[in-house]
Amino acid sequence: MSDTNTSSDIQIRQLPLTWMRKMLTILLTFDKDKDGVMGYEDHMQVVDKFVREANLTGKARDGIYQTFQDYCTSGESQGIPNSPSVAQQLLTVWIQKDNPETVEKWYKIQTENAQLLSLDVPGFMTFDNYMVYWNGLGLDKRFARMQFDYMDTNNDGLISHEEFANGYLEYMCNTDQNNLNRYFGPLMRY
């Protein structure tokens, strides 16, 4: 018997409620066509808005598009945007959060986002830079400072690329119901 769960081994009711609420919050953020899944086109629309919000051009623009296209179309991670239903998407993310290849892609995407947004201090995001990201995702501005301060683990008023990417990984992978990371703003009610 294998120690590795597959989506057919686990059911939605077995997933931690707080973790599901976090994933459903991402779904609401990314599901631009409101069809119940965050698919390839949804991801590309998010990148379009992010590119516009950050005024990215040239290599920076092309790089972020390529990163998201790779995420959606290659390797283990492609199962997430290609899942046919919310339930399947949740189960796929549940499995992928423990997959080193997918976690590495998540880290790469968030590190690149942070690099693109390090507009004022090389290697770091200021709060104003962070707001470009927050606004690009269309998140509630009232909660941006709280999340920025949460990710600023050394309290220097800046977010390093590592702090930004690690904040995302913690959000995606941490199942502790008392975790206060709100990378995509307040959790949806479920």
Average pLDDT over residues 88-115: 92
- CA distances from residue 106 to 16, 62, 76, 166 in whole angstroms, order as listed: 21, 18, 12, 10
CATH code, 15-173 = 1.10.238.10
pLDDT exceeds cutoff 60 at 2: no
Q: Where are the domains of the chain?
A: 15-173
Q: What is the DSSP letter of 157?
A: S
The answer to whether the beta carbons of residues 118 and 129 sit under 8 Å apart is yes
Confidence of residue 8 (pLDDT cuts 50, 70, 90): low
Residues 6+ apart with CB under 8 A from 144: 127, 130, 131, 134
Token pair 């990148």 in the structure block, residue: 47
Q: What is the pTM of this model?
A: 0.88
- CA distances from residue 129 to 18, 68, 84, 121 in whole angstroms, order as listed: 29, 20, 35, 10
147-176 confidence digits (pLDDT tens)? 999 999 999 999 999 999 999 999 999 999
